[in-house]
């Protein structure tokens, strides 16, 4: 199945796309003393769609390329090759006014709210900054900001305070309010709760879900926490070393994972229940993820895979539809 | 007394940090004991004092922190009692890294980038006189690293920390802490900086090791999943106090304290998008000005009259299940 067919299959099963990613690649050069000595293949040919009004969860371990994918989709970095279509338009070809409009519609919430807010700006200035940058006219800025603060569970007493006066959870709320100021349609949430405590994490997740329902937002939710991804996502895509190895409706992937890596990942996740933990099947975790500079030939997972066959060492498995709407890149499911 | 044969007993521990902003009352009267051979967990959120408690066990609290009062007893062997608070700095250093060893969260911070992994392991052994010289220690280092399941230990002895991945660094640190065959291993968020698959490897290995070496493990974590999979007994901490202590299965089956209940409901567990997760309103209090009475009362949905005035005592409700909450205690202290 080539990437175009794949995208068409996804469209027919997942729904109309907000974002369409085709064969996206990003190689970072590794510089030696005199010349480039290699490339980190952070994202190496991924194709997927984010359906309108839904949440796609992107999971994987550190270094698998999930954050790079998120940044590419927002054109925060330029790709090595490939296309991203936002509402049908290729974002890497946008210029001038059109690009500015895309920048308004597609936003990002970052992982660490201690780094993403300027310590010298008040909450009011932080939230007004994108409005000023986009030269949008607002009748009553103060009222506008207060309304946004209410929407994220803060209030007018917070208006002229500085970030250091807030806890991690409240800072993340401010970061979300800043994003909402531009009335975006699509938000990339890059590990929005991994710097927060569990009791606060639940508050933020629930708020994000409410906002999605109210404003009809489309999310790309990037996380390594499988419990959180399951709670947030309609569809999930599992990445390993720059490739998507499995993708499908969240419940189906969690209930019936197909790829050996997904199985290993799920089995590694500790279950918060001592009775279940005892019953849980034990899956041997072999080795560590290899370096993305010199990924193994064939299937990138084969050195750690207990089902590795001959073909896995030689040829890369394509992403194929194993069941309706459930895609997997593994020779166990693909025709050789 | 919960344990017939405790390895460590802590009574009424208070730790303060003297900062410019004020006195942080980080640990506020914590008492617990760890039985020999069990895995005891301290669980709680950032700043609840779980790390400080574990460090206080060998008085590893640096200025501006100070252990205000409290008793800490260590039993290296059944019946042999050492009063940690009365030891000199010299004497405590002989226990630290020998009888009681630590693994910290960030393995890179525990390793000196200028020395090889073998040197690190050899140094801990040479300091405690297990080997006569660093040279001899380096020879034995491969053997120790093999115990920590380091892949290809012979060549790793000569490797520098930057040549290893995060998981392997943590194995090297575990190797260092195991070099002297400690009686009590304190693992302070040992896998928080690592990926889940590597976390699973290290946790499986710690479990095996515990059975093989007859080790007592004190595990400090904020991950309820790890608690469920690893621990025998759990103490839940909130704002510098132990609010509940119970055997792991009892705690998950029958959590009593409103904070424990909230914490368990707040962790997404096999729930999809159509469910709404319960959250605990508010945030962790500032410990310079902790709330009076029960420190959880501003966030508690069940708070009533005595909660904001008097601190609830930690009392045993069922066998080995202790909780500090006025819902279960009468003001006299007994139910």
Using CB atoms, pick whichever of A228, A272, A288 lies closest to residue B224: A272
Asked whether residue B325 is assigned to any structural domain, the reply reads yes
pLDDT digits (tens, 9 = 90+) for B113-148: 999 999 999 999 999 989 999 999 999 999 999 888
β-pair type (B39-43, B216-221): parallel
Mean pLDDT of A158-181: 93
Min distance B97 CA to chain A CA atoms (Å): 29
Q: Where are the domains of chain A?
A: 3-254
Using CB atoms, pick whichever of A198, A200, A224 lies closest to residue B196: A224
Number of domains into which chain B is organized: 1
Asked whether residue B78 is assigned to any structural domain, the reply reads no
Mutate to test the interface with A, among B150, B199, B228 (most CBs of A within 10 A): B228
Mutate to test the interface with B, among A274, A282, A305 (most CBs of B within 10 A): A274
Contact call for B266 and A169, based on CB within 8 A: no
Q: Which residue of A has its CA nearest to B227?
A: A272
Q: Which residue of B has its CA nearest to A233?
A: B273
Mean pLDDT of B311-321: 92
Mutate to test the interface with A, among B272, B275, B299, B300 (most CBs of A within 10 A): B272
pLDDT digits (tens, 9 = 90+) for B196-254: 888 988 898 898 888 888 899 999 999 899 999 999 999 999 999 999 999 999 999 99
Does residue A268 register a pLDDT over 60?
A: yes
Q: Which residue of A has its CA nearest to B199?
A: A268
ipTM of the complex model: 0.82
Q: Which of A6, A3, A51 is nearest to A24 (CA)?
A: A3
pLDDT digits (tens, 9 = 90+) for A76-101: 999 999 999 999 999 999 999 999 99
Query: Residue B318 belongs to what domain range?
Result: 241-332
pLDDT for residue B195: 86
Token pair of A266, please?
Answer: 């799920």
Asked whether residue B288 is assigned to any structural domain, the reply reads yes
pLDDT for residue A336: 58
Mean pLDDT of B191-196: 85
Q: Which of B289, B218, B309 is nearest to B34 (CA)?
A: B218
Asked whether residue B303 is assigned to any structural domain, the reply reads yes
E-strand ranges in A171-242 read 186-190, 218-223, 235-240
- CATH homologous superfamily for the domain A3-254: P-loop containing nucleotide triphosphate hydrolases (3.40.50.300)
């Amino acid at each position: 199945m080539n990437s175009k067919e794949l995208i068409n299959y996804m469209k027919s099963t997942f729904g109309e796309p907000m974002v369409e990613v085709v064969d996206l690649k990003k190689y970072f050069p590794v510089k030696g003393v005199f010349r480039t000595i290699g490339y980190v293949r952070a994202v190496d040919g991924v194709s997927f769609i984010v359906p309108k009004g839904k949440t796609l969860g992107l999971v994987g371990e550190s270094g698998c390329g999930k954050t790079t994918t998120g940044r590419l989709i927002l054109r925060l970095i330029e790709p090595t090759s490939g296309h991203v279509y936002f509402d049908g338009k290729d974002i890497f070809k946008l210029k001038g006014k059109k690009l500015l409009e895309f920048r308004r519609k597609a936003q990002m919430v970052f992982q660490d709210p201690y780094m993403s807010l300027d310590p010298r700006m008040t909450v009011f200035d932080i939230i007004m900054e994108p409005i000023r940058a986009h030269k949008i006219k607002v009748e009553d800025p103060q009222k506008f900001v207060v309304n946004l603060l209410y929407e994220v569970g803060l209030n007018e007493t917070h208006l002229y305070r500085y970030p250091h006066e807030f806890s991690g959870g409240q800072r993340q709320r401010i970061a979300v309010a800043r994003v909402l100021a531009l009335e975006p349609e699509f938000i990339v949430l890059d590990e929005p709760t991994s710097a927060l405590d569990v009791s606060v994490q639940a508050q933020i997740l629930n708020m994000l879900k409410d906002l999605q329902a109210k404003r009809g937002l489309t999310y790309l939710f990037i996380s390594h926490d499988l419990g959180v991804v399951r709670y947030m996502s309609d569809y999930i895509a599992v990445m390993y070393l720059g490739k998507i190895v499995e993708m499908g409706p969240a419940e189906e992937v969690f209930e019936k994972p197909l790829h050996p890596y997904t199985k290993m990942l799920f089995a590694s996740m500790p279950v918060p229940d001592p009775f279940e933990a005892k019953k849980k099947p034990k899956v041997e975790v072999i080795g560590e993820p290899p370096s993305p500079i010199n990924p193994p030939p064939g299937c990138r997972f084969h050195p750690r895979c207990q089902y590795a066959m001959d073909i896995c060492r030689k040829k890369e498995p394509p992403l194929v539809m194993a069941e309706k709407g459930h895609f997997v890149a593994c020779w166990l499911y693909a025709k050789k | 007394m919960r344990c017939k044969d405790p390895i460590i007993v802590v009574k009424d521990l208070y730790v303060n940090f003297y900062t410019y902003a004020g006195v942080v009352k980080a640990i506020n009267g914590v008492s617990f004991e760890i039985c020999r051979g069990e895995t005891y967990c301290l669980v709680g959120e950032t700043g609840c004092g779980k790390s400080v408690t574990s460090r206080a066990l060998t008085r590893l609290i640096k200025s501006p922190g100070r252990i205000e009062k409290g008793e800490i007893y260590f039993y290296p062997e059944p019946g042999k009692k050492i009063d940690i608070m009365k030891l000199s700095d010299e004497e405590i250093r002989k226990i630290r890294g020998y009888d009681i060893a630590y693994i910290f969260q960030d393995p890179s911070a525990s390793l000196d980038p200028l020395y090889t992994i073998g040197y690190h392991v050899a140094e801990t052994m040479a300091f405690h006189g297990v080997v006569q010289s660093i040279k001899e220690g380096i020879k034995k280092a491969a053997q120790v690293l093999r115990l920590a399941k380091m892949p290809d230990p012979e060549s790793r002895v000569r490797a520098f920390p930057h040549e290893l991945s995060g998981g392997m660094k943590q194995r090297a640190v575990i190797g260092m802490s195991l070099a002297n065959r400690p009686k009590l291993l304190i693992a302070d968020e040992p896998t928080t900086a690592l990926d889940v698959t590597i976390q699973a490897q290290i946790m499986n290995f710690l479990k095996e090791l515990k059975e093989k070496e007859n080790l007592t493990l004190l595990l400090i974590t904020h991950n309820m999943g790890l608690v469920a999979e690893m621990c025998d007994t759990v103490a839940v901490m909130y704002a510098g106090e132990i609010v509940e202590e119970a055997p792991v299965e009892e705690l998950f089956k029958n959590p009593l304290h409103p904070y424990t209940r909230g914490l368990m409901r707040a962790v997404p567990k096999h729930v999809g998008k159509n469910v709404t997760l319960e959250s605990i309103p508010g945030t962790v209090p500032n410990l310079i000005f902790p709330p009076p009475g029960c420190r959880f009362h501003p966030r508690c949905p069940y708070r009533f009259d005595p909660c904001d005035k008097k601190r609830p005592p930690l009392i045993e409700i069922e066998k080995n299940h202790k909780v500090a909450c006025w819902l279960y205690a009468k003001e006299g202290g007994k139910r």
